[in-house]
Amino acid sequence: SKTVITFGTFDVFHIGHLNILQRASTLGGRLVVGISSDALNIEKKQRAPVYSQQERMAIVSQIKGVSEVFLEESLEAKAGYLRQYQAQILVMGDDWKGRFDHFSDLCEVVYFARTPSVSTTSIIEVVKAI
Ligand code: C2G
């Protein structure tokens, strides 16, 4: 059976995160999830996640269908992670459509439609307004 890999921050875990992990887990027998580190978020998004990397890894590791989590410390290390975990399928949401196509020499690349109208940013805005 196949090893599926996906990556993300999974901050303030929500239904969009659950949906993509559940869909990814149906593609193979093993689902490995790379959790973007706090440092990577600060560098790429100029904002620290609400939940720490330890908390985000603890949450995602307990989601049904997730076999293993690891810390994604660099966006440039993706090919290395794909090889390290012997991934046969890379899953990402379609906000990343096309941007991982060059990994198709290493594994199958699949983009799933994002769950509409939910994001960590929108949740932060809603909570701020309370
Ligand atoms: N997602 C989704 N629907 C939403 C929100 C998110 O399907 N409404 C998906 C995203 O497309 C992504 C995953 O959930 O595949 C995690 O989302 P983020 O935490 O926002 O991940 P991101 O910071 O984009 O990942 O190497 C990539 C990096 O780790 C960045």
Q: What is the DSSP string of the chain?
A: --EEEEEE---S--HHHHHHHHHHHTTSSEEEEEEEPHHHHHHHHSS--SS-HHHHHHHHHTSTT--EEEEE--GGGHHHHHHHTT-SEEEEEGGGTTTTGGGGGTSEEEEEPPPTT--HHHHHHHHHH-
- The pLDDT, as a whole number, for residue 114 is 97
Binding site membership of 8 for ligand 1 (Cβ less than 6 Å):
yes
pLDDT of res. 97: 96
pLDDT value for 12: 97
Distance CA 76, CA 16 (A): 25
Locate the ligand 1 atom nearest the alpha carbon of residue 75 and give its number: 26
Q: How far apart are CA 43 and CA 14, in angstroms?
A: 23
Mean pLDDT by 10-residue block, N- to C-terminus, for the chain (130 residues)?
A: 97 98 97 98 94 98 98 97 98 96 97 96 94
Question: What number is the ipTM of this complex?
Answer: 0.95
Output the pLDDT for position 129.
96
State residue 63's pLDDT score.
98
Q: Which of 46, 56, 43 is nearest to 13 (CA)?
A: 56
Q: Is 119 in the pocket of ligand 1 (CB under 6 A)?
A: yes
Which residue is closest in CA terms to ligand 1's atom 7? 114
Say if ligand 1 is within 6 A of residue 17 CB.
Answer: yes
- Taking the centre of ligand 1 as the mean of its atom positions, its distance from the CA of residue 73, in whole angstroms, is 16
Sheet harboring 89-93: ordered strands across? Answer: 68-72, 30-36, 3-8, 89-93, 108-112
Cβ proximity of 20 and 73 under 8 Å: no
Nearest atom within ligand 1 for CA of residue 78? 26
For residue 1, the CA-to-ligand 1 centroid distance in Å is: 25
pTM above 0.95, yes or no: yes
Q: What is the pLDDT of residue 15?
A: 98
Confidence at residue 35, expressed as pLDDT on a 0 to 100 scale: 98
